Structures are given as C-alpha cells and as structure tokens.
Copies of this chain bind each other. A is one copy, B any other.
Amino acid sequence: MQYRAWFSCVAGCPGQHPLNEVLYRCPICGALLEVTHDEEGLRSRSAAAWMRLFDERYLRTRWPYGSGVWGKKEWVQPHIADENVVSLFEGGTNLFWAERYGKQLGVEDLWVKQCGTSHTGSFKDLGMTVLVSTVRQMRAEGKPIRAVACASTGDTSAALAAYGAAAGIPVVVLLPANKITAAQLIQPVANGAMVCSLDTDFDGCMKVVQRLTDTSKGDTGIYLANSMNSLRVEGQKTIAFEIVQQFDWEVPDWVLVPGGNLGNVSAIAKGFLEMQRMGLIAAPPRLVCCQAAQANPLFLAYERARAAGRDMSLDDFEAVQAQPTLASAIQIGNPVSLSKAVKAIVETRGMVLQATEEQLAHAVARADRTGLFSCPHTGVALACLEQLIESNTIQKQDRVVVISTAHGLKFTEFKAGYHRETLGFESRLANHPVSMTGDPEQAVGELHRLLDDYEQAN
C-alpha cells in the first residue's frame, strides 16, 4: 500500500501540490498550504491496527520508527525514503504527572507534556525533522536545493541548525545586524549555521524572506524553514498522538497550549481531528490557546465573538502591535497560522485565554517548586490553567494536559530575575539563600532549626 499526501490550500482552492515541490503558499490565492492525507488510503488499515502499529514502534530501535514523529510516518510524510530521514529521536517526551502542583490547584489529574526535553530543547524538533528530511529527500531526487534558511533568533533557528548539521545540509539564519550576539545565538553558531547579519531591521529581514518565498521568480535554491512551512505542522501534530498513547488511548478533557504564531495549537488540533476522523478516538479534547496579555490578538478576537454570542471567525480578528513579554517567543501581533488556529479552536470547542506578566511568572515559580522547570511560555499556559480552575471551568475530576514547549534551561535569566526580584513586580514566591555559620556542630543545629521553621510553614 502506497500512502499519499499533498499540499492543499487552506482557503479551499483546487489543486494537489506534491510535498517535494518548493512551495510555501497557494499559487492561486496566496493563502497558507496544509498537508492533506489520502484518508481512504489510511483506512486500508483499521483504527485498531494503526494503534497497535504505533504502539509497537514507539521508542523502539527499528530506524527511523522509534522516533515519536516517524513512528507515525504514514500519517506525517509518507514520501520520504527511510535513508533520507534526519531524526534525532524526537518525541517520546515525559508526560509529567503534576501531582503536587495539581493538588495545590485543586485538580488531581494534571499532566505536563515536556516537549522541551529534547535534542535542541524545544518542541520545534518535532517539525524540523519533517522539514529537513523532506529537503534531504528532494536533494536525493536531484532538486537543486543548496541550503535551508530561516529568520529567527530562537528555537526555530536552533532546531534547523541542529538537523541541518546532522544531515550535512547548509543552514542559513537571517537576522538584523543589531540582534546578533554569540550568546543568544549559540545553538546555530555551534551547529555551524551561516549566521547572516543583515544591514536592516527585522521587517527588512522579512522582506528578504518574502523575496525567497516568491517562487514565481524561479529562484528555489534556498528552501525556507519559516513557520508558514506546513511540513512542520505534520511533525508537531504527533504531540496529540503521543498524549493519547501515553494515556493508553484515552483522550484528556483539556489540552492547554501557549500561542503566538499559532502553529502549535493548529498542529495539535490537526492531530486530534485526524485521529477522530479515522476512528482512533471518539472526540478531541477541548483545546485552550493561551496568549500573553502583551501579545493577545487571538484572545481579543475570541472575546469579540463571545460578546456577540457566536463562534469566533476570521472577521473577529485584528492584528495588534505586540508588546515586550517575558514569553518572548510568542510576542507576535499578527500570527502566521491564524486561519488554522481559528478553525482549531472552533472545531474542538476550545477557548482562548490570556495571562499577564506577573501571572505567568508566578505560575512558573509555583510549578517549579513542585519539580517542574518551566519556560515562560509554558508559564502562560499554567497561568491560564489557574484561571480556568478558579472559574470552575476546569473541574476537580477533569483530566488536563499542559503543553510545555521548551526546556527551562533556555530561560535561566528569566528565572534568576524572578528569584532576585528584578522583574519589576513583587516576586512573592522568590527563594532566597540563607546565611549560616561555618562551624560544623553549630551548622547542624542551625539546619535543624531551619527545618523546624520550614515544617511549620508547610
């Protein structure tokens, strides 16, 4: 059985475009593309047979199917020869049972999907393995792709650089000149990417990216890995598959996802909805997109629709000027994946919430004290979770999953700022070192007195 998938226009234009074509937007209307799978083909196996196959492959040694992404290869990118897969064993991340944090909040069945415990430290690995594998496949087919490029200072450039380096495919990272320091960019720098400092601002960089995506000029030698590339969504949607696998194919009630460019919430919805259509699950969970209040255009659209008593639509949306936020990766006022995300929220009976800087920082601090080590974006989702519990929307017995998008080790300055109380608001959960004597006998006595105080306070 040959499984098939192709690019199609999200706005509904006709046409099936091959996944190995250098194409980023619908050639008719310019809208985003999405990967559509031949679901009749996928139905050649029963839902039960797919579930068994996915479980058999999960984290096992048979290349490349042990990867959380490539274990679902037929549903992700069926056109890649196994030898062209560029995999760093992505996925399979811990679904952390947040027992103590949940008890504090009053929910018992709370889980955090630790997508940041990965090769490059963020969920971006899931999509990048699909994109870079597709590029390797195209190069193997003789397509003249010389390099893969993106304009990013963050997790995207880190993931692209690592996968490119593993595959031996040149990577170009485009940035405004004043934005480049070796420390900020140490992942692409160390992984040997060509880091290009452009004599312009970020808008100017985006113009270069636009020029590169304008495939009508016939210049397709530099392939773009930016977030409009819908191949990445196919990898990221496997988060949905893994969550239900990790619950032995039960679906949680709620899934909370931080949202900026809105690619991840779209991807996770796509995964759940495909599983529903194919009969692997009965219904998707309710998806909650969690935005920083400093960069909240989807939240505003959702609130407009709610005030009018109807489902959110694209007409409710207005771009905003995003303000600086600790959750820097979601500081986006005009999200690329807007149309997909609106659909995702409506089709999963989802919600959109927002969290302030203080709320996200306190939520991280509270969760960290129970063993997590969350990034500020995950903090936005945790803060929204706290609101939904407080409003009794999420109830005591509900099963809830929060998507953690990056490893806290990428955000140690944010955490140090909180505990040093330099973030500009009261860090009421700050943890300060305690000074003590150096005399051994006395120190042991002091330690026990410290523990007396601790036990009384807790």
Cα–Cα distance between A448 and B175 once the two chains are bound (Å): 17
Cα–Cα distance between A190 and B170 once the two chains are bound (Å): 38
**Is A43 positioned at the interface, with any CB of B under 8 Å from its CB?**
no
**Is A252 positioned at the interface, with any CB of B under 8 Å from its CB?**
no
A186-B415, A409-B407 known; A61-B248 Cβ under 8 A: yes
Residues of B within 8 A of A186 (CB): 412, 415-416, 419
**Is A216 positioned at the interface, with any CB of B under 8 Å from its CB?**
no
**Is A119 positioned at the interface, with any CB of B under 8 Å from its CB?**
yes
CB of A207 within 8 A of CB of B166, answer no
CB of B195 within 8 A of CB of A433, answer yes
Residues of B within 8 A of A409 (CB): 121, 407, 409-410
A114-B119, A373-B119, A447-B172 known; A166-B100 Cβ under 8 A: yes
Residues of B within 8 A of A58 (CB): 59
Residues of B within 8 A of A170 (CB): 451, 454-455
Residues of B within 8 A of A198 (CB): 436-438, 443
CB of B96 within 8 A of CB of A221, answer no
Within 8 Å by CB of A191, from B221, B368, B416, lies B368
- Smallest CB–CB gap between A110 and chain B, Å? 13
CB of B196 within 8 A of CB of A431, answer no
Contact with B along A97-123 (1 / 0, CB 8 A): 001100000000000001001111100
CB of B413 within 8 A of CB of A208, answer no
Cα–Cα distance between A371 and B121 once the two chains are bound (Å): 13
CB of B194 within 8 A of CB of A434, answer yes
**Is A199 positioned at the interface, with any CB of B under 8 Å from its CB?**
yes
CB of B146 within 8 A of CB of A433, answer no
Oligomer copy total: 2
Residues of B within 8 A of A420 (CB): 182
- Smallest CB–CB gap between A182 and chain B, Å? 5
Residues of B within 8 A of A328 (CB): none
**Is A333 positioned at the interface, with any CB of B under 8 Å from its CB?**
no
- Smallest CB–CB gap between A69 and chain B, Å? 13
Which B residue sits closest to A147, measured CB to CB?
B451
Contact with B along A276-297 (1 / 0, CB 8 A): 0000000000000000000000
How many A residues, CB 8 Å from partner?
Answer: 95
CB of B435 within 8 A of CB of A197, answer yes
Cα–Cα distance between A111 and B96 once the two chains are bound (Å): 28
Stretch at the interface among A6-14, A86-94, A352-360: A86-94
**Is A177 positioned at the interface, with any CB of B under 8 Å from its CB?**
yes
CB of B454 within 8 A of CB of A196, answer no
**Is A154 positioned at the interface, with any CB of B under 8 Å from its CB?**
no
CB of A94 within 8 A of CB of B117, answer no
CB of B373 within 8 A of CB of A454, answer no
**Is A424 positioned at the interface, with any CB of B under 8 Å from its CB?**
no
Contact with B along A416-435 (1 / 0, CB 8 A): 10011000000000010111
- Smallest CB–CB gap between A94 and chain B, Å? 4
CB of B371 within 8 A of CB of A165, answer yes
**Is A441 positioned at the interface, with any CB of B under 8 Å from its CB?**
yes
Residues of B within 8 A of A371 (CB): 88, 162-163, 165-167, 191
Cα–Cα distance between A100 and B167 once the two chains are bound (Å): 8
Cα–Cα distance between A269 and B210 once the two chains are bound (Å): 55
**Is A321 positioned at the interface, with any CB of B under 8 Å from its CB?**
no
By a beta-carbon cutoff of 8 Å, the part of chain A in contact with chain B is: 58-59, 61, 88-89, 92, 94-96, 99-100, 114, 117-121, 146-147, 149, 162-163, 165-168, 170, 172, 175, 177, 180, 182-183, 185-187, 189-200, 204-205, 207-208, 210-212, 219, 221-222, 245-248, 365, 368-371, 373, 407-410, 412-413, 415-416, 419-420, 431, 433-438, 440-441, 443-444, 447-448, 450-451, 454-455
A-B contact pairs, 30 of them (CB 8 A): A89-B96, A117-B119, A146-B448, A146-B451, A166-B370, A182-B419, A183-B416, A186-B415, A189-B419, A189-B431, A189-B433, A190-B368, A190-B369, A191-B369, A192-B369, A192-B431, A194-B450, A195-B434, A196-B435, A196-B436, A198-B443, A200-B438, A207-B440, A208-B438, A208-B440, A208-B444, A222-B448, A222-B451, A407-B409, A409-B410
